[in-house]
Amino acid sequence: MKKFNICTILSVFAFGVLLLLSSRMGYADTMTITLESVGGQSSGAVHGEYVYPYNFSFNGSTALTPLMCISYENEIYFGESWTATMTPVDGSDNLQYIEAAYILAQAAAPGASANTIAVAQWANWEFFDPNDPKLLANLPAGYQPQIDTLLATASLFAQNNVNTTDFPNIDIFIPIVNTQNEGGYPQIFVGDPQPGGNNDPFAAPEPSSLILFGSGLLGLAGFIFRKRCIA
Relative to beta strand 189-191, strand 65-69 is antiparallel
Residue 195: its pLDDT value, please? 62
% of the chain exceeding 90 in pLDDT: 43
Q: What mean pLDDT is predicted for residues 10-38? A: 60
At residue 38's C-alpha, the angle toward residues 34 and 39, to 5°, is: 140
Res. 25 pLDDT band, cuts 50 70 90:
very low
Question: pLDDT by residue (tens digit) across 122-173?
Answer: 999 999 999 899 998 999 889 999 999 999 999 999 999 888 888 888 999 9
Reported pTM: 0.72
C-alpha radius of gyration, the chain, whole number: 22
Residue 166: its pLDDT value, please? 84
Is the peptide bond between 53 and the residue preceding it cis, with omega within 30 degrees of 0? yes
Question: pLDDT by residue (tens digit) across 77-114?
Answer: 899 999 999 988 876 658 899 999 999 999 999 999 99
Per the CB < 8 A criterion, the answer to whether 57 and 79 are in contact is no
Question: Among candidates 122, 117, 150, which has minimal Cα distance to 45?
Answer: 122
Distance of CA 178 to the CA centre of its chain: 23
Residue 219: its pLDDT value, please? 54
% of the chain exceeding 70 in pLDDT: 68
With a cut of 50, say whether residue 8 has pLDDT above it. Answer: no
Residue 24: its pLDDT value, please? 42
Count of CA atoms in the C-beta half-sphere (13 A) of 60: 0
**What's the sign of the alpha-carbon dihedral 123, 124, 130, 133?**
negative
Res. 44 pLDDT band, cuts 50 70 90:
low
Question: Three-state SS for 209?
Answer: helix
What's the length of the chain? 231
